Structure 1
């Protein structure tokens, strides 16, 4: 089967059967590191909504994890006068239960297709696109081929499959050296194109935060994480978190054909810095002096290596204002 099909099936099993977050799980995301992350994202949403004229709007999160980001963001938005209905795009029964405990009254969706179509949508996607399946194409001496996953007994291995048309490969990369790997994510393009159409038609904005790059680029980024360490992506499928770096250039291009406007990407460090993480850290430390050292450590974690690896892309309706942290 293609790598994309393998990744989709493995992640569907993985997320349906566990809560992967936290010290007892497999990985930790920014909202689980500090409340400041969700609060600042919420204020970003509330500020943009306010400057857009306070239209009727719904707040949407794609892949909300435990609901931690949503709870922190909604609390901050409410203080700014923005208390929208909440919609989650989530398929995992385990994670839906955790989200319901933190955000009572949310509405769940299996995909973006059933989101409200009569109000502006303000969408947040933190570490969502990296989990969507990628195709891997590998350059052989005789041309580009789809990478497949074969099973021998209980062992899964990547192999080269059938040739793919040159049109699938970005022109600057077609003559890459043998052994080069190109990753593309039609699933990510489909989701972002659908959001772009919705935002262009209904108003609103989308903020994507994830680790990735500005493509097109060669390189194999598919990885597996288990117990806060790296694992073999092709071993024990369904028991590891599989992810791949996000091509922000492709995401931005997918959002724009319908008339939506793309901004960025900027680094997570620049995003949080311009949204006021230093001031928020100081305020929380002043209110809870016993937590001052821990708060400083959380800020350093969000703004350090993670702050440069992770990037943020914004998409808005053409008549909405420039989103905070994305101006000149």
Structure 2
């Protein structure tokens, strides 16, 4: 038996019922109630964890998002109440920075109800600790939910930063039979390995950019991501609002194997230690926009993270924070700006998609055609 309990259970499951999809494998690795990464990892985020997200890089990221939230709320007509929702809030750092900025607009703080969509009990506790300082500024204490569907109806401002990359994906391999599903099975030694099943992807679901792909190419799809994007679209189309989706990924659906495992800030074998490393895949922003638009929402023309933050005033905010400060502080701020916005760091790899109630214009974005 393997020393890794989840690996042993997955191997036994495959022996009994056959290979499983990549999506089922990711779900088990990340969300298994006993041995999943997000249910057992003591600290996945930050320099002491396995990866660093933009809010942990610099307070400027969350402050600029906070400014966007304030401006968008005003553009909505300043509804009271308004639901401020974050999907996958991590340690609560981003929401804390947003609320600190929102304090500059007391009317928004009086109107806002904070909702955090989080499954992990450990992370819920950490988020509560991070947001504890805002208890006196909020009329209603933050509320936690397992699913977006549990958030009450009403005007909504939704933020999802590095949320969709952790949702399970299905993978398909181009074969002589067409695009057949990639699966996780067992090799001759009974160890986890990748294989290909006979389940083929319907031709109508293959994007135009993949039709001429060569044998062995891999195509990814995330039904879970599309379903959540559609749910967001339905909500904001019917109840007024906007959503900001930030993640690493690509703008057009195309072949490519982006499944990866991260452990201690380094890439790892996705099959080596189930439940011990973070599994992610690049986000297909074209698919997200399409799902939301089909549900009734508008989708703005997406931006790179670098362009988005610069439009919101990243350089100006860095200048304010560094004014009159020591050289070391100014150098640190320059480094944070580079990390967030430089093309060779997070600036180009990360994309930003904004969704809205039909007819709205959102700060920093331009409308795209349907």
Shared fold (TM-score, shorter chain, > 0.5) = yes
Instruction: Give the root-mean-square deviation of aligned CA atoms.
Output: 1.4
Larger radius of gyration: 2
Aligned to 1:20: 44
Residue 299 of structure 2 aligns to a residue whose secondary structure is strand
Structure 2 CA distance for aligned equivalents of residues 268 and 62 of structure 1: 18
The answer to whether the 8 Å contact 2:162/2:248 transfers is yes
The answer as to whether partners of 2:209 and 2:254 remain within 8 angstroms in 1 is no
Native 8 Å contact 1:264 1:312 kept in 2: no
Label 1:238 to 1:287 Cα distance change in 2 as closer, same or farther (>3 A). Answer: farther
Could you tell me which runs of 5 or more consecutive residues in structure 2 were left unpaired when the two chains were aligned: 1-19, 133-140
Q: Does 1:5 align with 2:24?
A: yes
What's the CA shift string for 1:276-321, capped at 9, x where partnerless?
011110111126435222111111111112111101000001143x
2:303 corresponds to: 266
Q: Structure 1 residues 53, 287: CA separation in 2 closer, same or farther (over 3 Å shift)?
A: farther
Deviations 1:253-296 (A, max 9, x none): 00012321001210101110010011110111126435222111
1:133-282 equivalence runs, <5 A: 133-152=168-187, 155-164=191-200, 165-282=202-319
Partners of 1:327 and 1:108 lie apart in 2 by 33
Task: Report the alpha carbon displacement of residue 172 of structure 1 after superposing the two structures with TM.
Answer: 4.8
**Which range moves more in the overlay, 311-320 or 120-129?**
311-320
Distance verdict in 2 for CA 1:46–1:154, change over 3 Å? farther
- Structure 1 stretches (4+) deviating beyond 6 angstroms? none
Residues 171 and 283 (structure 1 numbering): CA distance in 2 closer, same or farther, change over 3 Å? closer
Q: Does 1:103 align with 2:139?
A: no
In structure 2, how many angstroms separate the alpha carbons of the residues matched to 1:69 and 1:205?
17
Please report how far the alpha carbon of residue 103 of structure 1 lies from its aligned counterpart in structure 2 after TM superposition: 1.5
Does 2:346 align with 1:306? yes
Match of 1:326 in 2: 365
Secondary structure of the 2:214 match is coil
For structure 1, the residue ranges without an aligned partner over 5 or more in a row are: none
Find the residue that maps to 2:270 and give its secondary structure: coil
Q: Please, which moves more after superposition, 151-160 or 198-207?
A: 151-160
2:185 aligned counterpart, secondary structure = strand
* Structure 2 residue aligned with 1:286: 323
Task: Report the counterpart of residue 112 of structure 1 in structure 2.
Answer: 148
Q: Is the 8 A contact 2:180 2:199 kept in 1?
A: yes
Q: CA deviation at 1:115?
A: 1.0
What is the aligned residue count?
326
SS in 1 for 2:253: coil
